[in-house]
Amino acid sequence: MRAVLTWRDKAEQCIYDLAFKPDGTQLILAAGNRLLVYDTSDGTLLQPLKGHKDTVYCVAYAKDGKRFASGSADKSVIIWTSKLEGILKYTHNDSIQCVSYNPVTHQLASCSSSDFGLWSPEQKSVSKHKSNSKITCCSWTNDGQYLALGMFNGIISIRNKNGEEKVKIERPGGSLSPIWSICWNPSSRWENFWMNRENEDAEEVVVNRYFQEIPSILKSAVYSSQGSEAEEEEPEEEDDSPRDDNSEEHNDILAVADWGQKLSFYQLSGKQAGRGTVDSQ
C-alpha cells in the first residue's frame, strides 16, 4: 500500500503533541504556546487557540468528542469544548507533562513533574495526588478502571479511579531507564462498542444489542442512564482490587518503552508478560 500526502502545513513552532477528534473531523496540535485546530479534510486552519502562557506539551480528546484538554509548561490545564471554547482552567505546582481522558467516564488525568490530578464534569474541584518522581506518561485501561503512570525514575504506578496506588512495578535499571511511553493494548470489544454506539440514534437500541457483550462495569453505567430501571436493583459493591481473572488479565497488557531502548510488556497485576524485554538496538 502506498501512502499519499493529502495536505501539509507549517506550524512555525515545535509540535509537542497532537490529537484527533474521535470522529476524525478535526486535528488539534500543541505548537508553541498555542493550540492549532485543523479541518482534516483539506488542512484548513480553523482557529488558533490562545490560553496558555508557555509551551503546550500535551493535548487529549475525550472519547465522546465533547471536550479536549491541554497541558502546558505554565503549570495549567485548560478544558475546551468541541466548539473551541475554553470552559475551565486549573493549575498544578509544576509543568504539565501529559493528559489523558478516561475512555468510559471521561474523567481527566493530568500529570506534572510532582503530582497528578483527576477531574470530571461532576466534580467541583480537582483531586490532587503527590508523586515522588516526575510523571512522563500515562494511560487508562480500556474499561477505565485503572490508570498507569510512567515515571522518570523507571517505576510504573497503577492507580484506581480515585488515585490510589494498587500496583507498583519496579523495573531493572531503575532511574537509569526512565519510562518514556506507555499504552494499554486496545480491546476489540470496546472499540466495537464505541463505534457502534456513535452510529446509533437511540441509546436503548445500543443497550439491547450490546448488553451481553460489554463488561459488567459498563453495563451498570449504561443501564443506569435508563432511569427507573436502574433503580430497581441495588448495584454490587465495586471490587477495587486489580482483576485476577485469567481472561481479563490477558486482555489488559501494558506496553512500556524506556529511555534505555527497551520495550517491555506487563499484566495488570504487575507481572511481566511474554519472554521479557525487547532491545531496540
More confident of the two residues 37 and 6 = 37
Residue 62 main-chain phi, psi, to 5 deg: -70, 150
Distance CA 275, CA 271 (A): 11
Q: Check residue 121 and give its pLDDT.
A: 84
Residue 95: pLDDT over 90: yes
Q: Check residue 242 and give its pLDDT.
A: 65
DSSP bridge partners of 140: 147
Q: Are 141 and 122 in contact (CB under 8 A)?
A: no
Mean pLDDT over all residues of the chain?
82
According to DSSP, residue 281 is labeled -
Residue 25: pLDDT over 50: yes
Q: Check residue 199 and give its pLDDT.
A: 56
Sequence-distant (≥ 6) Cβ neighbours of residue 78 within 8 angstroms: 51, 52, 69, 70, 72, 86, 88, 89
pLDDT tens for 150-186 read 999 999 999 999 999 999 999 888 888 999 999 998 8
Distance CA 34, CA 48 (A): 7
Sequence-distant (≥ 6) Cβ neighbours of residue 40 within 8 angstroms: 20, 24, 25, 26, 27
Residue 247: pLDDT over 80: no
More confident of the two residues 250 and 232 = 250
Decide: residue 1, CB within 10 A, 0-12 exposed, 13-18 middle, 19+ buried.
Answer: exposed
Distance CA 117, CA 120 (A): 10
